[in-house]
């Protein structure tokens, strides 16, 4: 399949038209007619895919290029920022696997979450869990961390290397004790320590805490990829606040793209992220049915159109894509797709 361009024609904060075309079909004259725009004015070189017109408030935006997987998973590229969803489904999805994401830029890549089905899902793209250089785990549910034991053991006994993991000291202890330790703490060979530790399997990369933020935030650079990790409200220990929530994080990538990770609907967080970073795209956790620990579609519909038009829904159920047309009609950008490169 050829690359696809996501086109949005906007008037103020409203989407006039949204469609997907192949690059060879990109014709400004034709698209201008769709917007009833007048005469082409200029191209903003700083944001080269944004076009403005005289005597009109219409803006045509090419938000990203979408490419389908072809033969073998690309873990490097020419330097642009790319996303690739290894899976987009919820915890119990069988059709769309689990919501695990690859971030790719230049010679670096990061696998965000490694659920129980992630190693299997990678093989459908002619890749293996041992191909992954760097991991980042958002929280300890099985659909996000259940594949780590396989990743640890395969690297220890097959590739004989330690992949990197972006993780704070606080969460490192919890992840090891509650998730990985059970199957990895006993040595597999006589020349190894009797009891193995986290650092025997993974090289810890510590993000640095950013001070002065409304909730805990850490930052790390992997090559030219900038990541900011922020706390989310997912699984509550008592009251409905991030302070009383089980550890879970979302991400801001290169100050451009938001990946919420697992979260309940959090208007305060999204409003703050949009105000401070003005992200181009938001990949947002969502369940169409009401859910105690995930964002609910009916609540997300309340967001203003300027925010909804940036949101691609992910972490959905196996039947949810049947409602994709309705989701777009409600003003959302759409749903995230497994096996597609999102090039920004």
Identify the domain containing residue 339 by its residue range.
Answer: 69-343
CATH of the domain at 119: 3.60.15.10
Looking at residue 311, its pLDDT comes to 95
Which of 16, 40, 64 is the last residue before a domain boundary? 64
**Residuewise pLDDT in 10s, the chain (344 residues):** 445 565 665 555 555 556 565 555 555 555 555 444 333 333 333 333 444 433 344 454 555 778 888 889 999 999 999 999 999 999 999 999 999 999 999 999 999 999 999 999 999 999 999 999 999 999 999 999 999 999 999 999 999 999 999 999 999 999 999 999 999 998 777 777 778 999 999 999 999 999 999 999 999 999 999 999 999 988 776 667 777 778 899 999 999 999 999 999 999 999 999 999 999 899 999 998 888 789 999 999 999 999 999 999 999 999 888 899 999 999 999 999 999 999 98
Q: Looking at the structure, tell me whether residues 56 and 176 fall in a common domain.
A: no
> By three-state DSSP, how is residue 88 classified?
coil
Q: Looking at the structure, tell me whether residues 74 and 175 fall in a common domain.
A: yes
Residue 82: both structure tokens together: 């790319």
DSSP state of 50: E
How many independent structural domains does the chain possess?
2
CA distance 260 to 16: 27
Looking at residue 46, its pLDDT comes to 33
Q: Looking at the structure, tell me whether residues 178 and 37 fall in a common domain.
A: no
Q: Looking at the structure, tell me whether residues 308 and 208 fall in a common domain.
A: yes
**pTM of the full structure:** 0.83
The CA distances from residue 297 to 15, 103, 189, 288, 312, in Å, are 20, 26, 50, 5, 12
With a CB cutoff of 8 Å and minimum separation 6, the contacts of 324 are 334, 335
Looking at residue 30, its pLDDT comes to 53
Looking at residue 40, its pLDDT comes to 34
CA distance 293 to 295: 7
Q: Is the dihedral of CA 121, 126, 131, 136 positive or negative?
A: negative
- State the burial class of residue 243 (Cβ atoms within 10 Å of its Cβ: 0-12, 13-18, 19+): exposed
Q: Looking at the structure, tell me whether residues 146 and 13 fall in a common domain.
A: no
Q: Looking at the structure, tell me whether residues 100 and 14 fall in a common domain.
A: no
CA distance 262 to 142: 12
CA distance 45 to 96: 38
- Residue 28 phi, psi dihedral angles, 5° rounding: -60, -40
Which of 14, 32, 64 is the last residue before a domain boundary? 64
Q: Looking at the structure, tell me whether residues 249 and 262 fall in a common domain.
A: yes
């Amino acid at each position: 399949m050829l690359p696809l361009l996501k086109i949005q024609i906007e008037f103020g904060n409203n989407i006039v038209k949204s469609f997907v075309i192949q690059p060879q079909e990109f014709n400004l004259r034709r698209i201008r007619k769709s917007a009833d725009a007048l005469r082409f004015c200029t191209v903003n070189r700083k944001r080269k895919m944004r076009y403005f017109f005289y005597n009109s408030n219409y803006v045509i935006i090419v938000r990203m290029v979408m490419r389908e997987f072809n033969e073998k998973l690309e873990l490097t590229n020419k330097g642009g920022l790319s996303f690739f969803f290894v899976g987009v489904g919820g915890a119990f999805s069988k059709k769309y696997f689990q919501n695990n994401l690859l971030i790719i830029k230049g010679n670096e890549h990061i696998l965000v979450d490694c659920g129980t089905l992630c190693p299997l899902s990678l093989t459908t793209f002619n890749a293996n869990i041992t191909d992954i250089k760097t991991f980042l785990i958002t929280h300890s549910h099985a659909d996000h961390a259940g594949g780590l034991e396989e990743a640890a053991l395969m690297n220890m006994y097959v590739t004989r290397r330690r992949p990197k993991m972006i993780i704070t000291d606080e969460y490192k202890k919890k992840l090891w004790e509650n998730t990985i330790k059970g199957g990895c703490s006993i040595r597999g060979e006589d020349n190894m320590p009797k009891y193995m530790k986290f650092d025997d399997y993974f090289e810890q990369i510590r993000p640095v805490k950013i001070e002065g933020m409304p909730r805990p935030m850490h930052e790390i650079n992997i090559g030219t990829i900038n990541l900011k990790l922020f706390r989310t409200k997912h699984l509550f220990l008592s009251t409905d606040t991030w302070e009383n929530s089980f550890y879970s994080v979302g991400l801001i990538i290169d100050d451009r793209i938001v990946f919420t990770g697992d979260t309940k609907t959090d208007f305060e967080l999204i409003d703050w992220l949009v105000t401070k970073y003005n992200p181009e795209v938001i990949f947002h956790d969502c369940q169409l049915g009401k859910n105690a620990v995930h964002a609910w579609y009916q609540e997300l519909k309340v967001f203003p159109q300027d925010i909804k038009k940036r949101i691609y829904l992910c972490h959905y159920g196996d039947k949810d894509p049947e409602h994709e047309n309705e989701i777009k009609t409600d003003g959302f950008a759409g749903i995230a797709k497994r096996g597609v490169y999102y090039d920004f």
